Every structure is written in C-alpha cells, then in structure tokens.
C-alpha cells in the first residue's frame, strides 16, 4: 500500500528536509516517528526537498508500506490509513515543529514528487517601511532598505515562462536548470510586509531565494528589470544577486492532476527538459 501524507513544519531547527547522518532533518524526524508506530525502515518520498530553515504549510510525501508495516497498521485500535496521522501526532509530542495533517491511501499511479504539476512558495520581507513584528521573525526576512514594491513586481513578472534558470540556481551535476515559472509577483499585505507568491512546475536548488534576491536588487535600485533578464539569459551567476535567507520562505501548496492522469504525469516529469520542448 502506498500512503499519501500531507505535512507542515517550521524549518527553523531543521537542517532541511533530506535525511543526513547526525543532523536533525524533517525526513529523519518523520521516518523515526513512523518506525516507532509501524516498525521497519520507512522511506519517505517528498514533493519538494526544502533547504535548511525553509518552512512548509502544504508539503506532500508518500510512503510505501511493507507487508509487516501494513499488518501493524491494521492491528491498531483504528486500523485505517487515515488513523496513522493521529498516531504520529501522539509520537511527535506536544507542540512539535513538524505535523502530519492527513494520511490516506494514495490513488493508483500517485508519486509525491513526479506526479506533481506545480509547487507554490511564499516569501515574506520586512523592509524599512514595515514595523518590526517579533512574532513573525521566524518566517520573515528583514531587508534594511526602502524597497520599491512596484519595481520588484515588474522584475518578478519578467521571469515568467519557460527559461533556463542556471543563473538563479545552485548547479548540481546531471540536473537540468530549465523550469517553467507559472506565476511570480509581489504585493504588500495589510501590515506592509512584502509578500511574493511563486509558482512553477518545479524548482531547482535555491532558485526561489535567488529570484527573490534579484527582485530585491531591483527594489533597491541596484539593478533594472532588463538587467535581471539579461543575467537570466546569459546563464551566469553574479555577485549582485544575493540568495536571500531561508527563514522567509514557505512551501504552501503542491498541485496534482486528476487521479487518472497521475501515472502519465509522473512519466512526463521524469523526461529531461529542454527549451525546445512543447
């Protein structure tokens, strides 16, 4: 049986999603909790591997149960996949920084990573026009400048579409940096916080925080919109574009197609991307 898990976590005290020896990670913490409940060696697959300090309110993962784990699940007081979320909540303890909101048997063909159609992130910035809110410090980055929200929004909109984002990613051997940015824009909320909504079919390593850094450079007047477009097209990272802090970034939602399209979407995603692709 394959289970789908819907998750949320405060990334402040985690060294990212991926399991790392000797370090506290979201994956390691959840897999240890699952092992306490079901035994075995759980292996979670996640929709988006977040970096150290990045938060999530709408993360998705899947877990393939062995026969032994399935038998233990069915021996519980409430022997259903849906009940696993409550059992994990009990193991994680009071006020944990990671929560499993929902567990359910996955639809046929579902893959948390490869079946996803898009991911949505939110980034929050407080600038010199914003009153400092100590209650929001764990999910908001501070930039000590007067930022032009309209200019930042124009820069964000210029990134939309299919592009090679090598200039705004940390390169990984064998990985493509071609992505389709479906939406990107900035606004100020009712408290004056600058909020970006970023949506793409997928993101490469540090891409969102680098794109935010480019927008901040435009908002400060250090770069023009044409500059960040040129940097993107040249494909070379430059010092003027900073990768902003992880604390301001939250994965808010992952989108999937209808159940009968899940397997086909997974096959499509595994195909290597190119700028000439339809």
Supply the residues annotated as catalytic. 51
- Of 119, 141, 103, give the one whose Cα is nearest residue 57: 119
CA–CA dist 148, 219 (Å, integer): 5
- Of 27, 6, 56, give the one whose Cα is nearest residue 252: 56
CA–CA dist 13, 36 (Å, integer): 22
Cβ contacts of 145 within 8 Å, gap of 6 or more: 127, 128, 216, 219, 220
Burial class (CB in 10 A: 0-12, 13-18, 19+), 209: buried
CB 123 within 8 A of CB 249: yes
CA–CA dist 245, 41 (Å, integer): 33
* Vertex 53 angle, CA 28 and 5, to 5°: 45
CA–CA dist 169, 207 (Å, integer): 5
Secondary structure class of 114 (helix, strand, coil): coil
CA–CA dist 93, 176 (Å, integer): 40
β-bridge mates for residue 184, sequence order: 198
Rg (CA), the chain: 20
Residue 30 φ then ψ, to 5° = -70, -40
């Amino acid at each position: 049986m394959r289970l789908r898990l819907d998750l949320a976590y405060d990334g402040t005290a985690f060294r990212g999603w991926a399991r790392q020896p000797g370090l506290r990670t979201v994956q390691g913490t959840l897999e240890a909790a699952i092992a306490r409940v079901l035994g075995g060696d759980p292996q979670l697959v996640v929709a988006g591997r977040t970096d150290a300090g990045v938060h999530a309110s709408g993360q998705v993962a899947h877990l393939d149960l062995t026969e032994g784990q399935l038998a233990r699940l069915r021996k519980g007081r409430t022997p259903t996949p849906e009940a696993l979320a409550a059992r994990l909540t009990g193991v994680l303890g009071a006020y944990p920084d990671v929560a499993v909101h929902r567990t359910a048997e996955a639809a046929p063909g579902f893959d948390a990573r490869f079946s996803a159609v898009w991911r949505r992130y939110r980034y929050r910035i407080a600038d010199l026009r914003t009153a400092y809110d100590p209650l929001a410090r764990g999910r908001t980055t501070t930039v000590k400048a007067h930022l032009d929200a309209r200019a930042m929004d124009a820069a964000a909109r210029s990134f939309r579409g299919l592009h090679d984002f090598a200039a705004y990613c940390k390169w990984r051997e064998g990985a493509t940096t071609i992505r389709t940015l479906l939406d990107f824009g900035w606004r100020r909320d009712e408290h004056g916080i600058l909020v970006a909504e970023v949506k793409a079919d997928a993101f490469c390593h540090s891409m969102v925080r680098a794109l935010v850094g480019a927008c901040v450079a435009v908002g400060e007047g250090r770069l023009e919109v044409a500059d960040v477009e040129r940097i993107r097209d040249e494909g070379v990272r430059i010092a003027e574009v900073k990768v902003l802090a992880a604390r301001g970034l939250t994965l808010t939602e992952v989108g999937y197609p209808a159940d009968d399209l899940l397997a086909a979407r997974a096959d499509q995603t595994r195909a290597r991307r190119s700028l000439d692709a339809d």
